Amino acid sequence: MIDIALKEISKDFGGEKILNTFNLELKTGERIGLIGRNGCGKSTVLNMVTEKLPYDTGELSVRKNLKISYLKQSPTYQSDFTVKMVIQSAFSRLSGMATMIKQLEREMSEPDCINLEKLLEEHGELSSKFEVEGGYEITDKTDRICQGLKIDHSVLNRLFKTLSGGEKTTVELARVLLQNPDILLLDEPLLDFKGTILSVSHDRYFINQIANEVIELESGQLTHYIGNYDSYKQ
Ligand SMILES: Nc1ncnc2c1ncn2[C@@H]1O[C@H](COP(=O)(O)OP(=O)(O)OP(=O)(O)O)[C@@H](O)[C@H]1O
Ligand SMILES: [Mg+2]
């Protein structure tokens, strides 16, 4: 199945052609590494896929109902956003539902409420949707991901804009993983990430990008190689 297709896409910035009849297909389950020199247009491609940037000519299609999460190269948020607010923005749909549910409860408790039955029905439907979509697990999931990525509780109340590049990336990683997306777009996510990574993959491009040591498991034994997949092969 094709999730995302870019056909003959072109994009100009101030008269300079950044993308020239660019074609790309992303099929379900594929893991593609997009490489190229600085300024060649890699981030531009991701910005177009997420509709943050228009393209000049061509055709871009995204399969219906796909949940796309995007880990940006230099994420910025409103200056008063705390780390916790950034992470919990992964649940904006559920938060919207929670606000609606509270609003309905307020309306139902009014002494002069005239359409109680209808409101009750709406409340019931919304509440079960909220539960099915994991509304009651927001705190648990947030705690778990913070633990996993070693985001300390004391960091949660800091302003996002005061974090270092690497810290911002870690927080963004938490946010996009919590969104539980069908497609993950990662723009240089690991350049700034200072933490430890143990990644299991068959994908040599992926391993080449992130690894400074490769461990091979064969017949129950581990062998260590310093360097990425290519140096392991030599
Ligand atoms: N909004 C914009 N307005 C004008 N020019 C832009 C805009 N966004 C990007 N560009 C230009 O388009 C070119 C491609 O930028 P882009 O950010 O896509 O490159 P990149 O491949 O992601 O580079 P890097 O490896 O440095 O992240 C650059 O020359 C950049 O200056
Ligand atoms: Mg870029």
Give the model confidence (pLDDT) of 91-119 as tens digits: 999 999 999 999 999 999 999 988 999 99
The answer on pLDDT for 217 being more than 90 is: no
Higher-confidence residue: 34 or 122? 122
Give the residue with greater pLDDT, 173 vs 194: 173
Cα 38 to middle of ligand 2, angstroms: 7
Q: How far is 234 from 80, CA to CA, in rounded Å?
A: 50
User: Per-residue confidence at 2, pLDDT binned at 50, 70, 90?
Assistant: very high
Question: Using CA atoms, how far apart are residues 9 and 55, in angstroms rounded to an integer?
Answer: 7
Give the whole-number percent of the chain exceeding pLDDT 90.
63
Q: What predicted TM-score, i.e. pTM, was given to this entire model?
A: 0.77
Q: What is the pLDDT of residues 139-167, one digit of tens each?
A: 999 999 999 888 999 999 999 999 998 89
| Residue 116 φ then ψ, to 5° | -55, -45
Is 123 near ligand 1, meaning CB less than 6 Å away?
no
Ligand nearest to the CA of 48: 1
Q: Is the CB of 136 under 6 A from ligand 1?
A: no
Report angle CA 97, 167, 44 to the nearest 5 degrees.
75
Centre of ligand 1 to C-alpha 168, Å, is 21
- Closest residue CA from atom 7 of ligand 1: 13
- In this prediction, residues 10-33 reach a mean pLDDT of 90
Angle at 140 between CA 134 and CA 194, to 5 degrees: 115
Q: Which domains does the chain have, with CATH numbers?
A: 1-66 (3.40.50.300), 83-178 (no CATH), 197-234 (no CATH)
